[in-house]
Amino acid sequence: MRLHHLNCISTCPLGGHLMDGRADCLLCRGRLCCHCILAETPASGLVLVDTGFGLRDVHEPRTRLSAFFLAMVKPELREEMTARRQIEALGFKAEDVRHIVLTHLDFDHAGGLDDFPQATVHLMETERDAALARPTWLDRQRFRPQQWSSRPRWKVYRAGGGDRWFGFARARPLEGLPDDIALIPLTGHTLGHAGVALDGGERWLLQAGDAYFYHEEMHPDAPHCTPGLRFYQWLMEKDRRARFDNQRRLRELCRDHAEAVEVCCGHDLTEFERLAGRNAAWPASARGPRLAAAAG
């Protein structure tokens, strides 16, 4: 299975260095990625893990996204950074994407669903139910039905039902997908939040979505998160105890199974650039530049 790492539109939240740990000032905006993964599978075609923002989000942001989050995170709405355009730049067609596996339905993870009208969408049942209910004001800002024309093609799963995955529960096998792609429930950020595990050959890669936000949160002895992202995680969490417990278990996974599993989250630039081998501001392409080449 060949994996491509796509930053499907950066967000630029208020807080600068206090948010991303990299910006030069506190009053400027920080920068986070939307880390999606495109998997080339032998039998199931292309599989996309999360979609980031989509084409319609770029062209019609005020009808698709909430004014609250447009102001707070100010997405850098560049068409060439959408999943569809990057997949096309890699030499594929939108219809080649036969499956999309979602960590959750937040606006910055599911905005590109409309761009792949032939793909089956896989997600946790509790995520679908909570997103459709949208009981609170914040839920109505984060979950955007305007992005969900794909609903007739959603396949939902309950926690459990599959073999254990390095001690974690696993949803039953995903319909039409091989066993080396797994949906791993990681409740906390949302009620149906999940990670997506992909067997890359030498070791597994777990895209943990928004189970954490900053790479140093996975430090086994001294986990650390920037103040801005710590506040944002508190603001968005649906189950604090479950979120902290899953972060602890992810740290243990990184410590005890480093040779077999690599873990990344949905928004950390350091992780993305290490895995992608290019600057997060550059779209993927079949002949794209690499960080090593740029440094030389």
pLDDT, tens only, 11-48: 999 889 999 999 888 778 999 999 999 999 998 999 99
* Measured distance CA(49)–CA(187) in Å, rounded: 17
Of the given ranges (69-73, 107-111, 126-130, 291-295), which has the lowest mean pLDDT?
291-295
* pLDDT > 70? residue 128: yes
Position 14 scores a pLDDT of: 87
* Measured distance CA(285)–CA(265) in Å, rounded: 22
* pLDDT > 90? residue 200: no
127's tokens: 């995520």
Query: Strand pairing partners for 41?
Result: 45
pTM of the full structure: 0.95
Position 292 scores a pLDDT of: 38
Higher pLDDT, 291 or 48: 48
Residue 52, domain extent: 2-295
What does the CA dihedral 157, 158, 163, 165 come to, rounded to 10 degrees? 90
* pLDDT > 90? residue 294: no
Position 202 scores a pLDDT of: 87
The arithmetic mean of pLDDT across residues 213-231, rounded, is 96
* pLDDT > 70? residue 295: no
Domain at 129, CATH number: 3.60.15.10
The total of structural domains in the chain comes to 1
- Give the chain's mean pLDDT: 94
Q: What percent of the chain has pLDDT over 90?
A: 89
> In terms of Cα–Cα distance, which of 121, 128, 120, 122 is closest to 145?
128
* Measured distance CA(170)–CA(225) in Å, rounded: 27
Q: What is the pLDDT of residues 61-109, one digit of tens each?
A: 999 999 999 999 999 999 999 999 999 999 999 999 999 999 999 999 9
238's tokens: 């649906």
* H or E stretch at 243: helix 240-256
Cβ-contact 206, 266 below 8 angstroms: no
What does the CA dihedral 284, 286, 288, 292 come to, rounded to 10 degrees? 100
Position 288 scores a pLDDT of: 61
* pLDDT > 80? residue 289: no
User: Which positions ≥6 away from 160 have C-beta within 8 Å?
Assistant: 169, 170, 171, 172
Burial (CB count <10 Å: 0-12, 13-18, 19+), residue 78: middle
Cβ-contact 83, 115 below 8 angstroms: yes
